[in-house]
A = this chain, B = another copy of it.
Amino acid sequence: MKLFLVDDHPVVRAGIKALLDGEPDMEIVGEAANADDALRLVALREPDVVLMDLQLGDGPDGVEATRRIRELPRKPQILVLTTYETDADIVRAIDAGATGYLLKASPPDELFSAIRAAARGESVLSPKVAAKMMRRMRDPGPALTAREIEILELLSKGAGNKEIARALFITEATVKTHLNHVYGKLGVETRTAAVTAAVERGLIRL
């Protein structure tokens, strides 16, 4: 089974390689520290599974890299291996075409079986991530729409309604409508409180 690593931390790449050294059925055919190298080398080496970090320092992030790799003619399975477990990250990664979502805090055994499952095209989630998704399924919760998240992200930058409207090519009236929905869903009454509530619930990242 041919693996490819994408992570901007040399320490982490060395760690995965060291762990996988004891697994005879796995071979690492390449690695990259950023999205551009990843895309180029994956197309060349044609791995079965790509282990992808979401934070890649400068340039496109892991979600973007995942999206592009999934557009390759001979597309590998992509297993996200990252530190964070916010709703926004998980949803975006899955949406971009990731086969699974693992946390770096996972024990090695979990990593191995997840890689093998991903190679078979099966979806795998870290228990913590799975638990989070289960909670979200049972409790519909706020469930903000994509548009509302977009608004929140601009909001967190301190943008006024007028700026948000310009940035999203909509009118100020529409922005206010979205904001009122967001206030209702998050149970807050001001734009500032909406930002902190969204950050605390992992809906957006600062």
Query: A residues touching B (Cβ–Cβ < 8 Å)?
Result: 8-19, 55, 57, 81, 83, 104-108, 111, 155-160, 188-197, 199-200, 206
Contacts and interface: CB of A to CB of B under 8 A. Distances in A.
A23 B197 CA distance: 46
Contacts of A19: 10-11, 14
Contacts of A107: 10
Contacts of A111: 11
B12 A11 contact: yes
Query: Which has the most chain B C-beta neighbours within 10 Å: A15, A16, A55?
Result: A15
Q: In terms of DSSP, what is the predominant structure of the interface of chain A?
A: helix
Contact of A14 (B15, B156, B159, B193): B15
Given A15-B16, A18-B17, A18-B18, A158 B10 contact: no
A203 to B, nearest CB: 13
Nearest to A111: B11
Contacts of A195: 192, 195-196
A172 to B, nearest CB: 15
Nearest to A20: B14
A156 B11 contact: no
Contact of A206 (B9, B17, B189, B199): B199
A44 B44 CA distance: 50
19 contacts: A9-B15, A9-B104, A10-B105, A10-B106, A12-B15, A12-B104, A14-B14, A14-B19, A14-B108, A15-B18, A17-B18, A18-B18, A156-B192, A158-B193, A158-B196, A159-B193, A192-B195, A199-B206, A200-B206
